[in-house]
Structure formats: C-alpha cells, structure tokens
Structure 1
Amino acid sequence: MVPYIVDAVELAVSKGLYLPLVYNSGGYDSVETLGLLDGIIDIYMPDMKYSDEKTAEQLSGIKDYPKVNKAAVKEMHRQVSDL
C-alpha cells in the first residue's frame, strides 16, 4: 500500500500540489515501510496503544506490538524530528 501512496504523492507534487502530509497509523509499522516515506511525510501521528507485551497480546493478539511500536516511533522521529 505505501508504495502506491509514494507514487501518488510524487505525481501530485509534479503537477504542482503542495500540502503538508500527515501519516496517521496504528503504530505497528515496520522501519522498512517507514523508510519508503522518508522525506515525504511532514507529520507522523502514530498510536501508542500498549507498552506491555502481555496486554498487547491479550487485547490485540500482537505480542511484539511494544517492540515494533517503539522502533517505528524512533524512525518517525528520526525522519521529522521535533515539531
């Protein structure tokens, strides 16, 4: 899905569109996927649902959510820094 977003944004920009781009996600994004968005997204708005593996697994069935989320948020911050 993200590669299609990148293609669409590049096409829109080449046609003169300029808008700040906001990426709102559930926070379970891979660093590799976020790398495709580097330099494209202006503001990231991730969820940070769980900091505990047990709770993440109980409520969402995703035990590694805290680990993946932490890496994703670090990558998002690396890309856009502080507001």
Structure 2
Amino acid sequence: MLLVDDEAAIVGLQKNTLAALGYHVTATTDNRIALSYFQAAPDGFDLIITDQTMPSLCGTELAGEVLRVRPDMPIILCTGYSSAISE
C-alpha cells in the first residue's frame, strides 16, 4: 500500500500501525514522490491512502493521475478539513 500525508508524525504512526497489522507500506510526506513511486511500479500497490490537503499536489489530483493508469485502484482520501473534500 502507498501511504501519503504531509505531516511526518501522522505518516509514522499510520505506517507503524499498518505494518503491525501485517501490511507492507510505502510511505512518504509528498504526493509528487508518491506519484513517482506509483509510476515506477503501478502494479506494486493494492491501495493508496492519501491526505487531500497537500502543499504540492492535492489528494484528488494524485488520485486522478493514478486512476488514468490503474482505473481499478482503490484510493482512500483523508483530511482533517471536511470542506476540502466535496465528494
């Protein structure tokens, strides 16, 4: 799974929790880096969890890029700001 949040503490906590549950997690604090990881191995991920509100590339933009390549990819958008996600 690919995990993205711009807050390092959140990424660390989520990665450790998911790894303890047996998941293999690739994590980063930058959606552009996450996109490069995905582009390098589009079949290497079964799920993407991303923060919506990111400084360089928002979660819906990342999702759009991913879904162009893998329309079947499950993506979970998260945010602490409910007004940031409309759908």
TM-score, normalising length from structure 1? 0.38
State the structure with more CA Rg.
Answer: 1
TM-score, normalising length from structure 2? 0.37
Q: Greater helix share, 1 or 2?
A: 1
Q: Greater strand share, 1 or 2?
A: 2
